[in-house]
Amino acid sequence: GAVVSQHPSRVICKSGTSVKIECRSLDFQATTMFWYRQFPKQSLMLMATSNEGSKATYEQGVEKDKFLINHASLTLSTLTVTSAHPEDSSFYICSAPSGTGLYEQYFGPGTRLTVT
Amino acid sequence: AQSVTQPDIHITVSEGASLELRCNYSYGATPYLFWYVQSPGQGLQLLLKYFSGDTLVQGIKGFEAEFKRSQSSFNLRKPSVHWSDAAEYFCAGTGGFKTIFGAGTRLFVKA
């Protein structure tokens, strides 16, 4: 089946630095990808929709200047957390719709970000 | 507003016992519904999905779910739980683009 990968799986960075998370669709093309954030013991909250060749669409309350999204190709979307702070520590998950439509998604394994 | 509700934050069942995880949805029309399972520190794995047709849906790992329009529910069931089923379970719905997740239900399995 379709696979979505994320890199890195875990990252620790210092407060004030930036960190980039990659999301790749390995055997299919994805013009749209979704980025979610999950706090411990909580559900997934959609942060933004990444669109290949155009600007990302951010959900209400998500700072677009802090969470930079780039969808450079049909198989790669990146999320950059700029000037990270400890409150940005979270589990970030990306997903890509299946080729049958936008209803079913394939999820990446997630990236654990810890900001010290 | 569209929403997906999982009333139970956590559930504990004995190994071998049956399981039912509740999910209720609120959408203008019938959404597409999903159940996912997440092990600690892992991504989400799709257990099953409902788009239309037969209201009893079979999934992987022996799970099934029943769509009940009259109750706006899509409860997940398993007749006999295994210790390896201990995980977080998410119900999710989509009206065609964005997916909305329930808060999740943590399943504990006791020997």
Question: C-alpha distances in angstroms, B52 versus A95, B31, B61, B73?
Answer: 23, 9, 21, 14
Of A43, A103, A112, nearest to B101 by CB-CB distance is: A43
Distance, CA of B111 to CA of B109 (rounded, Å) = 7
Residue of A nearest to B10 (CA): A41
Q: Is B103 in contact with A46 (Cβ distance < 8 A)?
A: no
Q: Does B69 touch chain A (CB under 8 A)?
A: no
Of B36, B43, B98, nearest to A46 by CB-CB distance is: B98
Residue B46 clears pLDDT 80, i.e. is over it:
yes
Calculate the CA dihedral of residues A55, A61, A65, A68 and round it to 10 degrees: -50
Closest CA to B34 of B101, B86, B79: B101
Assess contact for A29 and A53: CB atoms under 8 A: no
User: Residue A29 corresponds to which tokens in the numbers above?
Assistant: 């093309």
> pLDDT tens digits for A39-61?
887 889 999 999 998 899 999 99
Amino acid A2: pLDDT: 65
Q: Does B42 touch chain A (CB under 8 A)?
A: yes
User: Residue A105 corresponds to which tokens in the numbers above?
Assistant: 């998604």
pLDDT-wise least confident of A5-14, B61-70, B90-99: B90-99
Q: Is A102 in contact with B44 (Cβ distance < 8 A)?
A: no
Amino acid A101: pLDDT: 59
Calculate the CA dihedral of residues A64, A70, A71, A72 and round it to 10 degrees: 160
The ranges of chain A with pLDDT < 50 are none
Assess contact for B82 and B26: CB atoms under 8 A: no
* pLDDT > 70 fraction of chain A, expressed in percent and rounded: 95
Q: Is B97 in contact with A42 (Cβ distance < 8 A)?
A: no
Residue B31: which pLDDT band, with cuts at 50, 70 and 90?
Answer: confident
Amino acid B52: pLDDT: 85
